[in-house]
Chains A and B, each alone.
Chain A
Amino acid sequence: MLKVLRSSNILWAIVFVIILIICILWIYMPWKDSFAAAEILVDGELYMTLDDISGAEKEITVTTSYGTNVVVYGNNEVYVRSSDCKNQTCVNFGKISKPGQSVICAPHRLTVRICGAKTSDTDI
Protein backbone atom coordinates (compact mmCIF):
# COMPACT_ATOMS: atom_id res chain seq x y z
CA MET A 1 0.00 0.00 0.00
CA LEU A 2 2.73 2.42 0.99
CA LYS A 3 4.63 1.55 -2.15
CA VAL A 4 1.60 2.42 -4.25
CA LEU A 5 1.14 5.71 -2.41
CA ARG A 6 4.74 6.60 -3.08
CA SER A 7 4.72 6.04 -6.77
CA SER A 8 1.26 6.58 -8.16
CA ASN A 9 0.72 9.94 -9.78
CA ILE A 10 -2.79 9.03 -10.83
CA LEU A 11 -3.88 8.06 -7.33
CA TRP A 12 -2.73 11.38 -5.91
CA ALA A 13 -4.25 13.28 -8.80
CA ILE A 14 -7.60 11.62 -8.04
CA VAL A 15 -7.30 12.40 -4.32
CA PHE A 16 -6.57 16.09 -4.98
CA VAL A 17 -9.29 16.43 -7.60
CA ILE A 18 -11.81 14.97 -5.14
CA ILE A 19 -10.70 17.46 -2.48
CA LEU A 20 -10.99 20.27 -5.03
CA ILE A 21 -14.52 19.21 -5.95
CA ILE A 22 -15.55 19.00 -2.29
CA CYS A 23 -14.22 22.50 -1.67
CA ILE A 24 -15.91 23.94 -4.73
CA LEU A 25 -19.21 22.35 -3.69
CA TRP A 26 -18.65 23.72 -0.19
CA ILE A 27 -18.26 27.19 -1.71
CA TYR A 28 -21.18 27.09 -4.10
CA MET A 29 -23.82 24.72 -2.82
CA PRO A 30 -25.23 25.50 0.58
CA TRP A 31 -27.00 28.36 2.25
CA LYS A 32 -27.35 30.44 -0.85
CA ASP A 33 -29.64 33.45 -0.39
CA SER A 34 -30.47 32.37 3.15
CA PHE A 35 -28.84 35.30 4.87
CA ALA A 36 -29.30 38.96 5.36
CA ALA A 37 -26.87 40.09 7.99
CA ALA A 38 -23.20 40.90 8.38
CA GLU A 39 -21.01 41.60 11.36
CA ILE A 40 -18.05 43.88 11.80
CA LEU A 41 -15.58 42.71 14.42
CA VAL A 42 -12.61 44.58 15.81
CA ASP A 43 -10.08 42.64 17.86
CA GLY A 44 -12.53 39.74 17.89
CA GLU A 45 -15.18 41.87 19.60
CA LEU A 46 -18.44 42.70 17.88
CA TYR A 47 -18.19 46.29 16.72
CA MET A 48 -21.46 46.51 14.86
CA THR A 49 -24.06 44.35 13.17
CA LEU A 50 -25.33 45.22 9.70
CA ASP A 51 -28.85 43.85 9.96
CA ASP A 52 -29.82 44.10 6.34
CA ILE A 53 -27.38 43.92 3.46
CA SER A 54 -29.98 43.29 0.76
CA GLY A 55 -31.03 46.89 0.22
CA ALA A 56 -29.40 49.72 -1.67
CA GLU A 57 -25.70 50.37 -1.12
CA LYS A 58 -24.79 52.12 2.09
CA GLU A 59 -21.48 53.16 3.46
CA ILE A 60 -20.15 53.00 6.98
CA THR A 61 -16.88 54.33 8.29
CA VAL A 62 -15.22 52.24 10.97
CA THR A 63 -12.72 54.25 12.94
CA THR A 64 -10.79 52.57 15.73
CA SER A 65 -7.48 53.18 17.42
CA TYR A 66 -5.89 51.04 14.71
CA GLY A 67 -7.16 53.12 11.79
CA THR A 68 -10.08 53.75 9.49
CA ASN A 69 -11.87 51.45 7.05
CA VAL A 70 -14.80 52.37 4.85
CA VAL A 71 -17.15 49.38 4.59
CA VAL A 72 -19.84 49.33 1.91
CA TYR A 73 -22.86 47.02 2.12
CA GLY A 74 -25.93 46.48 -0.04
CA ASN A 75 -27.23 44.32 -2.88
CA ASN A 76 -26.33 41.27 -0.77
CA GLU A 77 -22.67 42.17 -0.95
CA VAL A 78 -20.16 43.63 1.44
CA TYR A 79 -16.75 45.05 0.68
CA VAL A 80 -14.13 47.42 2.00
CA ARG A 81 -13.98 50.46 -0.24
CA SER A 82 -10.97 52.11 1.30
CA SER A 83 -8.62 51.73 4.19
CA ASP A 84 -5.66 53.66 5.50
CA CYS A 85 -3.76 50.46 6.25
CA LYS A 86 -0.43 49.70 4.64
CA ASN A 87 -1.10 46.54 2.68
CA GLN A 88 -4.59 47.26 1.24
CA THR A 89 -5.35 43.53 1.20
CA CYS A 90 -8.85 44.22 2.50
CA VAL A 91 -9.60 46.65 -0.34
CA ASN A 92 -8.16 44.35 -2.98
CA PHE A 93 -10.01 41.39 -1.52
CA GLY A 94 -13.18 42.41 -3.34
CA LYS A 95 -16.79 41.67 -2.55
CA ILE A 96 -18.14 38.89 -0.37
CA SER A 97 -21.67 37.60 -0.61
CA LYS A 98 -21.93 34.18 1.06
CA PRO A 99 -22.35 33.20 4.71
CA GLY A 100 -19.08 32.31 6.33
CA GLN A 101 -17.05 34.52 4.03
CA SER A 102 -15.10 37.35 5.55
CA VAL A 103 -12.90 40.26 4.61
CA ILE A 104 -10.02 40.73 6.98
CA CYS A 105 -7.90 43.80 7.54
CA ALA A 106 -5.13 42.39 9.69
CA PRO A 107 -3.29 45.67 10.38
CA HIS A 108 -6.52 47.13 11.80
CA ARG A 109 -7.59 43.87 13.52
CA LEU A 110 -10.83 44.22 11.57
CA THR A 111 -13.06 41.42 10.31
CA VAL A 112 -16.21 41.87 8.24
CA ARG A 113 -18.18 38.65 8.17
CA ILE A 114 -21.43 37.56 6.60
CA CYS A 115 -23.44 35.42 8.94
CA GLY A 116 -26.12 33.12 7.66
CA ALA A 117 -29.46 32.93 9.38
CA LYS A 118 -28.99 29.23 10.03
CA THR A 119 -25.29 28.68 9.82
CA SER A 120 -23.56 31.31 11.90
CA ASP A 121 -23.09 28.91 14.80
CA THR A 122 -22.51 25.70 12.96
CA ASP A 123 -19.74 26.44 10.54
CA ILE A 124 -17.37 28.23 12.87
Chain B
Amino acid sequence: MKISVRRLTLMAVLTAVSLTVFVIEAQFPVSAVGGIKLGLANIVTLIAMLFIGRREAGIVLALRIILASAFYGTFISFAFSVAGGLAAYTVMCLLINRFDRKQIWVVSVFGGVFHNFGQIAAACVITGSPAAAGLLPYLIVSGILAGFFTGICAQRLWFSPLRKFSIKSEK
Protein backbone atom coordinates (compact mmCIF):
# COMPACT_ATOMS: atom_id res chain seq x y z
CA MET B 1 0.00 0.00 0.00
CA LYS B 2 1.60 3.19 -1.23
CA ILE B 3 0.84 5.93 1.20
CA SER B 4 1.45 9.63 0.93
CA VAL B 5 2.35 11.85 3.86
CA ARG B 6 -0.86 13.75 3.38
CA ARG B 7 -2.96 10.59 3.51
CA LEU B 8 -1.11 9.27 6.54
CA THR B 9 -1.48 12.58 8.38
CA LEU B 10 -5.18 12.82 7.68
CA MET B 11 -5.69 9.24 8.89
CA ALA B 12 -3.72 9.95 12.06
CA VAL B 13 -5.67 13.15 12.76
CA LEU B 14 -8.99 11.42 12.21
CA THR B 15 -7.99 8.53 14.47
CA ALA B 16 -7.08 11.01 17.20
CA VAL B 17 -10.33 12.92 16.71
CA SER B 18 -12.47 9.78 16.80
CA LEU B 19 -10.71 8.51 19.92
CA THR B 20 -11.25 11.87 21.62
CA VAL B 21 -14.91 12.01 20.65
CA PHE B 22 -15.38 8.42 21.80
CA VAL B 23 -13.74 9.04 25.17
CA ILE B 24 -15.71 12.26 25.79
CA GLU B 25 -18.95 10.52 24.92
CA ALA B 26 -18.09 7.66 27.26
CA GLN B 27 -17.91 10.12 30.18
CA PHE B 28 -21.64 10.80 30.03
CA PRO B 29 -23.72 8.35 32.00
CA VAL B 30 -26.30 6.48 29.97
CA SER B 31 -28.41 5.35 32.90
CA ALA B 32 -31.83 6.37 31.63
CA VAL B 33 -31.76 4.34 28.45
CA GLY B 34 -29.67 1.24 29.08
CA GLY B 35 -26.46 1.42 27.13
CA ILE B 36 -27.95 3.35 24.22
CA LYS B 37 -25.73 6.14 22.94
CA LEU B 38 -25.30 8.30 19.89
CA GLY B 39 -22.07 6.82 18.63
CA LEU B 40 -20.55 10.17 17.74
CA ALA B 41 -17.33 8.47 16.70
CA ASN B 42 -19.26 7.16 13.71
CA ILE B 43 -19.19 10.70 12.30
CA VAL B 44 -15.42 10.36 12.03
CA THR B 45 -15.65 6.93 10.41
CA LEU B 46 -17.99 8.38 7.80
CA ILE B 47 -15.77 11.40 7.25
CA ALA B 48 -12.75 9.14 6.80
CA MET B 49 -14.71 7.12 4.27
CA LEU B 50 -15.70 10.27 2.37
CA PHE B 51 -12.46 12.22 2.62
CA ILE B 52 -9.87 9.46 2.21
CA GLY B 53 -11.41 6.17 1.24
CA ARG B 54 -13.13 3.05 2.47
CA ARG B 55 -10.03 1.06 3.29
CA GLU B 56 -8.53 3.94 5.25
CA ALA B 57 -11.81 4.40 7.12
CA GLY B 58 -11.56 0.75 8.13
CA ILE B 59 -8.07 1.35 9.47
CA VAL B 60 -9.18 4.45 11.40
CA LEU B 61 -12.11 2.49 12.87
CA ALA B 62 -9.96 -0.51 13.82
CA LEU B 63 -7.35 1.71 15.48
CA ARG B 64 -10.02 3.58 17.41
CA ILE B 65 -11.61 0.37 18.69
CA ILE B 66 -8.26 -1.14 19.69
CA LEU B 67 -7.00 2.04 21.38
CA ALA B 68 -10.29 2.79 23.15
CA SER B 69 -10.51 -0.77 24.45
CA ALA B 70 -6.87 -0.74 25.50
CA PHE B 71 -7.34 2.44 27.52
CA TYR B 72 -10.81 2.00 28.95
CA GLY B 73 -12.42 -1.24 27.97
CA THR B 74 -12.61 -4.81 29.00
CA PHE B 75 -12.43 -7.82 26.73
CA ILE B 76 -16.22 -7.91 26.68
CA SER B 77 -16.55 -4.28 25.64
CA PHE B 78 -13.90 -4.93 22.98
CA ALA B 79 -15.94 -7.83 21.61
CA PHE B 80 -19.07 -5.66 21.49
CA SER B 81 -17.21 -2.82 19.78
CA VAL B 82 -15.74 -5.13 17.16
CA ALA B 83 -19.08 -6.80 16.43
CA GLY B 84 -20.91 -3.49 16.12
CA GLY B 85 -18.13 -1.68 14.30
CA LEU B 86 -17.54 -4.46 11.79
CA ALA B 87 -21.24 -4.78 10.95
CA ALA B 88 -21.71 -1.02 10.54
CA TYR B 89 -18.50 -0.62 8.54
CA THR B 90 -19.36 -3.44 6.14
CA VAL B 91 -22.81 -2.03 5.42
CA MET B 92 -21.58 1.54 4.99
CA CYS B 93 -18.78 0.37 2.68
CA LEU B 94 -21.29 -1.34 0.46
CA LEU B 95 -23.66 1.63 0.37
CA ILE B 96 -21.50 4.75 0.45
CA ASN B 97 -20.83 4.97 -3.27
CA ARG B 98 -24.29 3.83 -4.27
CA PHE B 99 -25.86 6.92 -2.78
CA ASP B 100 -25.76 10.54 -3.68
CA ARG B 101 -23.68 12.76 -1.37
CA LYS B 102 -26.92 14.33 -0.17
CA GLN B 103 -27.95 10.90 1.13
CA ILE B 104 -25.05 10.35 3.47
CA TRP B 105 -27.58 10.28 6.29
CA VAL B 106 -29.30 7.25 4.72
CA VAL B 107 -26.01 5.35 4.65
CA SER B 108 -25.46 6.35 8.28
CA VAL B 109 -28.89 5.13 9.35
CA PHE B 110 -28.13 1.73 7.83
CA GLY B 111 -24.79 1.80 9.61
CA GLY B 112 -26.44 2.62 12.94
CA VAL B 113 -29.01 -0.14 12.65
CA PHE B 114 -26.45 -2.76 11.60
CA HIS B 115 -24.14 -1.65 14.40
CA ASN B 116 -26.90 -2.61 16.81
CA PHE B 117 -27.58 -5.88 14.95
CA GLY B 118 -23.91 -6.72 15.39
CA GLN B 119 -24.07 -5.95 19.09
CA ILE B 120 -27.19 -8.10 19.57
CA ALA B 121 -25.42 -10.95 17.78
CA ALA B 122 -22.44 -10.50 20.11
CA ALA B 123 -24.74 -10.45 23.15
CA CYS B 124 -26.40 -13.69 22.00
CA VAL B 125 -23.03 -15.38 21.54
CA ILE B 126 -21.60 -14.16 24.85
CA THR B 127 -24.63 -14.97 26.99
CA GLY B 128 -25.26 -18.21 25.09
CA SER B 129 -28.96 -17.48 24.76
CA PRO B 130 -31.08 -15.69 22.16
CA ALA B 131 -32.80 -13.57 24.82
CA ALA B 132 -30.99 -10.42 23.66
CA ALA B 133 -33.04 -10.56 20.46
CA GLY B 134 -35.97 -9.29 22.54
CA LEU B 135 -34.22 -5.92 22.55
CA LEU B 136 -34.40 -5.75 18.76
CA PRO B 137 -37.19 -3.15 18.42
CA TYR B 138 -35.52 -0.83 20.94
CA LEU B 139 -32.18 -1.11 19.23
CA ILE B 140 -33.63 -0.60 15.75
CA VAL B 141 -35.26 2.63 16.97
CA SER B 142 -32.07 3.84 18.64
CA GLY B 143 -30.00 2.78 15.62
CA ILE B 144 -32.17 4.77 13.23
CA LEU B 145 -32.20 7.89 15.42
CA ALA B 146 -28.49 7.79 16.26
CA GLY B 147 -27.56 6.97 12.67
CA PHE B 148 -29.68 9.85 11.42
CA PHE B 149 -27.99 12.28 13.78
CA THR B 150 -24.42 11.19 13.03
CA GLY B 151 -25.23 11.04 9.32
CA ILE B 152 -26.54 14.61 9.26
CA CYS B 153 -23.39 15.73 11.09
CA ALA B 154 -21.14 13.96 8.56
CA GLN B 155 -23.15 15.36 5.66
CA ARG B 156 -22.89 18.85 7.09
CA LEU B 157 -19.11 18.43 7.32
CA TRP B 158 -18.88 17.16 3.76
CA PHE B 159 -20.69 20.24 2.48
CA SER B 160 -18.47 22.56 4.51
CA PRO B 161 -15.12 24.28 3.84
CA LEU B 162 -13.43 21.36 5.63
CA ARG B 163 -13.84 19.44 2.40
CA LYS B 164 -10.71 21.08 1.06
CA PHE B 165 -8.83 18.55 3.22
CA SER B 166 -10.39 15.74 1.24
CA ILE B 167 -7.98 13.52 -0.66
CA LYS B 168 -10.57 11.67 -2.64
CA SER B 169 -11.45 13.37 -5.90
CA GLU B 170 -15.17 13.56 -6.46
CA LYS B 171 -16.65 12.07 -9.57
Interface residues of A (CB under 8 A from B): 6-7, 9, 12, 16, 19-20, 23-24, 26-27, 41, 43-45, 86-87, 89, 92-94, 100-104, 106-107, 109-111, 113, 123-124
Q: Main SS of chain B's interface residues?
A: helix
Q: Determine the distance from Cα of A86 to Cα of B135 in the docked complex, in whole angstroms.
A: 22
Q: Which A residues lie within 8 Å of B144 (CB)?
A: 16, 19-20
Would you call B40 an interface residue if the criterion is a C-beta within 8 Å of the partner chain's C-beta atoms? no
Contact A23 B31 (CB under 8 A): no
Total interface residues in chain B, CB < 8 Å:
36
Contact B103 A6 (CB under 8 A): yes
Min CB gap B76→A, angstroms: 5
Of A26, A27, A102, the residue contacting B132 (CB under 8 A) is A102
Would you call B34 an interface residue if the criterion is a C-beta within 8 Å of the partner chain's C-beta atoms? yes
Would you call B1 an interface residue if the criterion is a C-beta within 8 Å of the partner chain's C-beta atoms? no
Min CB gap A50→B, angstroms: 14
Interface residues of B (CB under 8 A from A): 29-35, 74, 76-77, 80, 98-100, 102-103, 106, 109, 123, 126-135, 137-138, 140-141, 144-145, 148
In the complex, 23 of the A-B residue pairs with CB atoms within 8 angstroms, ordered by the A residue number, are A6-B99, A9-B102, A9-B106, A16-B144, A16-B148, A20-B145, A27-B138, A27-B141, A44-B127, A87-B74, A87-B76, A92-B29, A92-B30, A92-B34, A93-B34, A93-B35, A94-B34, A101-B134, A101-B135, A106-B127, A107-B76, A111-B129, A113-B129
Q: Determine the distance from Cα of A89 to Cα of B145 in the docked complex, in whole angstroms.
A: 21
Contact A20 B141 (CB under 8 A): yes
Q: Which B residues lie within 8 Å of A43 (CB)?
A: 127-128
Contact B130 A7 (CB under 8 A): no
Q: Which B residues lie within 8 Å of A41 (CB)?
A: 127-129, 131
Contact A106 B131 (CB under 8 A): no
Of B74, B76, B127, the residue contacting A111 (CB under 8 A) is B127
Contact B31 A94 (CB under 8 A): yes
